[in-house]
């Protein structure tokens, strides 16, 4: 099962006189990944190499290291630990000894992997997006029950009949939440599911 970080993580390593610092953080968008990288890169360092994964999206960058020796090994560290929704930045300060392409790949990948290994993580559960409606007379009660049962309201829109909520629900809980919604609205609310 894929895992996500619950907060930032850090790991440092000295490898043949070069200093490597790996920083990892949870992300929920490509913009969040870029913001993390922009905030934490060190312009005084020799290289700021990175990778991130968010579902099917991923990016990586070698930042001047030989092609395939930094960003790709960082991404492989993310994949080998089955992490998702994560960005990893590995900062290097050159210490005067060349590591060679294999040594660089091991240094970047190993530092990233150890950073992710020590990070606090949670298992990601597949979620559905649900669009549901509720009459005005039932809003407070239905909202309280849905939230207590684990649904997350992402947005609310009001119309002449009541409210339309966009929810996120864990896949395994969807049937029970649908039944709860039908019961609480006495069948007067719509419920439609979209994956992802």
| Tens of pLDDT, residues 100-142 | 999 999 999 999 999 999 999 988 888 889 999 999 999 999 9
- Predicted confidence band of residue 194 (pLDDT cuts 50, 70, 90): confident
Taking every pair of Cα atoms in the chain, the longest distance, rounded to a whole number of angstroms, is 73
Least trusted range by pLDDT, from 100-104, 123-127, 147-151, 170-174: 123-127
What domains can you pick out in the chain, each with its CATH number?
Answer: 3-123 (3.30.230.30), 127-195 (3.30.70.240)
Q: Report the sign of the C-alpha dihedral through residues 154, 158, 162, 164, in that order.
A: negative
Q: Which is nearest to 49 in space by CA: 58, 60, 59?
A: 60
The answer to whether the beta carbons of residues 112 and 78 sit under 8 Å apart is: yes
- Give 43-73 pLDDT, tens digit per residue: 999 999 999 999 889 999 999 999 999 999 9
């Amino acid at each position: 099962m894929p895992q996500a970080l619950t907060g930032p993580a850090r790991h440092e390593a000295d490898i043949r006189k070069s200093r490597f610092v790996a920083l990892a953080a949870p992300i929920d968008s490509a913009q969040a990944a870029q913001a993390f990288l922009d905030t934490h890169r060190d312009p005084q360092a020799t290289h700021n190499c990175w990778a991130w994964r968010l579902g099917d999206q991923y990016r990586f960058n070698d930042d001047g290291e030989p092609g395939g020796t930094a960003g790709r090994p960082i991404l492989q560290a993310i994949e080998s630990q089955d992490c998702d929704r994560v960005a990893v930045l590995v900062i290097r300060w050159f210490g005067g000894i060349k590591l060679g392409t294999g040594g660089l790949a091991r240094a970047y990948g190993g530092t990233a992997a150890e950073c992710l290994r020590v990070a606090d993580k949670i298992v990601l559960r597949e979620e559905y997006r649900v669009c549901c409606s509720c009459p005005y007379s039932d809003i407070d009660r239905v909202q309280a029950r849905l939230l207590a049962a684990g649904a997350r309201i992402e947005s609310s829109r009001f119309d002449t009949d009541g409210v339309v909520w966009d929810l996120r629900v864990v896949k395994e809980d969807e049937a029970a939440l649908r039944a709860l919604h039908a019961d609480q609205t006495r069948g007067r609310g719509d419920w439609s599911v979209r994956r992802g």
